[in-house]
């Protein structure tokens, strides 16, 4: 029986801590990964991992290749080619879920084989999310196949996936023979991709979950309690005030926004209009529930509790759009609060909610 040494216990403890950090996401994954390397080197007396060994991964052919492919993918994204590709796919599929799935699998696999599957997924996720939104399809129905198609496509060539690169490098070191060529994996990889793609197209749609209900962003983000419809009585002090000035002047301290005004079957955007509020108008208001109640009391408004606000009410291409945006790391908005960014004044845009790591926070209560 092999005796358990202190070195074994230290390494095992590091593995357990690392797995816990990855699962709980208590720290960013990149910080955890670098931290493991540092810990292994610092604990060299027990781990037997010296500085040279600990840093050797950064000079690995696999690491350098993947970094290069990330740079290439970012260059392609910056040119706007992905947007053009997305428009072409949207035109071809015409909102059909089956066509969208076929297009995602058919494009992702071969491209992942040439570029590397990881950066391909990173670049394609925003495009595929937009396509799902346009077609009123749950994003999970396309994003999960995107991930699998990229992995299947990665088996087509040497650079398609990091594991192929690592295997090639390990083979050369162990045997002293030349590493695998670019297309050594292709015959078997092509078979794997064809079979896997067929499964994704024929069987996967029946198994894939609808994690997000399509066409219901107000519900998915938990915005519904922070949107209300109120009726303007004839005696309300708002009557005669330009709709665009209601939340910008008199009631600025309440942190409420008038998103929409309904008058006799006609909608118009409050912020863009000089039209005055009239009796019997119905206002769509965004704010904290308690703040909305106070606003109604001060302005003499009557709440319409059964009048729910849906995506259809907020997304009207002829006058207003309800959109879901991703804030990249290089954005000037990073580090700003929702209020401090002054999006209303700068872009005439109202933030309804923010989602971070799957957790939603409404703009009415988030700083």
Domain CATH number, residue 234:
3.30.70.1450
Q: Is residue 252 part of a domain?
A: yes
- Final residue belonging to a domain, choices 207, 234, 259: 207
Last residue of a domain, one of 312, 332, 359: 312
Query: Assign residue 85 a region: left if phi > 0, alpha if psi is -120 to 50, beta otherwise?
Result: alpha
pLDDT band of 357, cuts 50, 70, 90: low
Q: In the β-sheet with 257-263, what is the strand arrangement from edge to edge?
A: 266-268, 257-263, 282-286, 227-231, 302-303
What's this model's pTM, rounded to 2 decimal places?
A: 0.65
Rounded distance between C-alpha atoms, residue 28 and residue 35, angstroms = 11
Domain span holding position 229: 224-312
Are the C-beta atoms of residues 198 and 106 closer than 8 Å to each other? no
Q: What pLDDT, on the 0 to 100 scale, is given for residue 58?
A: 83
Q: Look at residue 134 and tell me if it is in a domain.
A: yes
Q: Three-state SS for 274?
A: coil
In a domain, 336, yes or no: no
- Give the CA angle between residues 97, 103, 108 to the nearest 5°: 130
Q: How many CA atoms lie within 13 A of 223 on its CB side?
A: 22
Mean pLDDT rounded to a whole number for the chain: 83
Query: What is the per-residue pLDDT for 335?
Result: 80
The rounded distance, in Å, linking the Cα atoms of 250 and 227 is 20
**Number of separate domains in the chain:** 3
| Residue 197 and residue 101 share a domain | yes
Whether the predicted pLDDT of 310 surpasses 70? no
Q: Does 324 map to a domain? A: no
Parallel, antiparallel, or unpaired: how do β-strands 359-362 and 353-356 relate? antiparallel
**What are the DSSP E strand ranges found in the chain?**
227-231, 257-263, 266-268, 282-286, 302-303, 353-356, 359-362
- pLDDT value at position 100? 94
Residues 90 and 201 in one domain: yes
- State whether 229 and 280 are in the same domain: yes
**pLDDT score recorded for residue 304:** 83
Judge contact between 221 and 249, C-beta under 8 A: no
141 and 201 share a domain? yes
Least confident of 150-159, 244-253, 332-341: 244-253
> Does residue 140 lie within any of the structural domains?
yes
In this structure, the strands spanning 282-286 and 266-268 are unpaired
């Amino acid at each position: 029986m092999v005796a358990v040494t202190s070195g074994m216990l230290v390494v095992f403890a590091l593995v357990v801590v690392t797995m816990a950090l990855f699962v709980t996401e208590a720290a960013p994954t990149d910080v955890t990964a670098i931290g493991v390397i540092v810990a292994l080197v610092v604990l060299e007396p027990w781990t037997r991992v010296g500085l040279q060994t600990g840093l050797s991964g950064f000079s690995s052919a696999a690491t350098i290749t993947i970094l290069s492919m990330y740079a290439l993918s970012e260059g392609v994204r910056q040119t706007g080619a992905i947007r053009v590709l997305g428009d072409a796919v949207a035109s071809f599929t015409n909102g059909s879920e089956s066509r969208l799935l076929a297009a995602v699998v058919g494009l992702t696999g071969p491209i992942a084989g040439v570029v590397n599957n990881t950066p391909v997924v990173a670049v394609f996720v925003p495009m595929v999310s937009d396509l799902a939104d346009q077609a009123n399809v749950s994003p999970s129905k396309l994003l999960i196949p995107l991930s699998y198609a990229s992995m299947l496509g990665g088996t087509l060539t040497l650079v398609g996936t990091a594991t192929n690169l690592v295997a090639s490098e390990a083979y050369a070191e162990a045997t002293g023979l030349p590493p695998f060529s670019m297309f050594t994996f292709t015959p078997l990889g092509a078979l794997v991709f064809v079979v896997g793609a067929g499964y994704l197209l024929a069987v996967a749609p029946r198994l894939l979950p609808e994690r997000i209900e399509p066409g219901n962003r107000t519900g998915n983000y938990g915005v519904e309690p922070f949107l209300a419809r109120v009726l303007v009585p004839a005696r309300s002090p708002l009557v005669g005030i330009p709709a665009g000035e209601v939340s910008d002047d008199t009631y600025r301290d309440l942190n409420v926004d008038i998103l929409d005004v309904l008058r006799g079957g006609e909608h118009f955007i409050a912020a863009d209009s000089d039209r005055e509020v009239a009796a019997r108008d119905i206002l769509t208001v965004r704010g904290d529930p308690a703040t909305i109640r106070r606003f109604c009391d001060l302005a003499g408004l009557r709440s319409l509790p059964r009048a729910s606000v849906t995506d259809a009410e907020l997304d009207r291409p002829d006058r207003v759009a309800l959109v879901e945006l991703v804030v990249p790391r290089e954005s000037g908005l990073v580090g700003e609060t929702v209020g401090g960014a002054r999006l209303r004044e700068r872009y005439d845009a109202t933030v309804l909610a923010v989602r971070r790591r799957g957790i939603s926070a409404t703009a009415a209560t988030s700083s």
